[in-house]
Amino acid sequence: MKCNFCGSKANKIIYNYTRFERNNILECKKCGLAFLEVKKTKKEIEEFYKEEYRKTKDLPKKSAEEMFNDPVIRRDCQERLEWIKKNYCNLKGKKVLEIGSSSGYFLEVLSSAGAEVIGVELLDSYATYARSLGFIVYSQPLETLDFKNEFNLVVMFHTLEHVFDPLSILWAINFSLKKGGTRPLNLNTLKKQSMTGR
């Protein structure tokens, strides 16, 4: 499988199990990127996350409401919020996008901190639940939404490993941020460094 970052086909298996399922995790021998071995097409992956993801036998079975109210998840959300406030800034009045927003539990925490929030969640039942709470949630891949210079901050947790083309998501995040927004990385510099081996 070709590395999504540098394009090399030289890789090795470093793990053969993810959180809830058997799946090879590969490491690129050229740039060191670790990534899931993808055996489905982009369309198949998107359809899986729209309907089937929470129905797989290895995942905990939780409704959108159960996920929203789970005390462990709520504690994690509070810790994430504190980390963002410490390392980024006060969120009051900031426009924040969450990719993989699930049933809206972190959107709710961000909103309670004064942020204007928007979510992206492919799983229809979870996105519908978050919308029922009053949140704007899109149910299509980020790279198709064409956000430009709109957000002060973009967050995602346990999401990047699920997408077909991680680099396209990082580019979409980069373009979606306002001037002065916190960027995850300088993609041009990082790609140049990987090609030169630095």
| Domains of the chain in sequence order | 1-39 (no CATH), 41-196 (3.40.50.150)
Tens of pLDDT, residue by residue over 60-92, are 678 889 989 999 999 999 999 999 999 887 899
Cα dist from 190 to 31, 77, 149, 172, 193, whole Å:
10, 30, 21, 16, 5
pTM of the model: 0.76
Element (H or E) spanning 46, and its range? helix 42-47
pLDDT digits (tens, 9 = 90+) for 126-165: 999 999 999 999 999 899 998 999 999 999 998 877 777 8
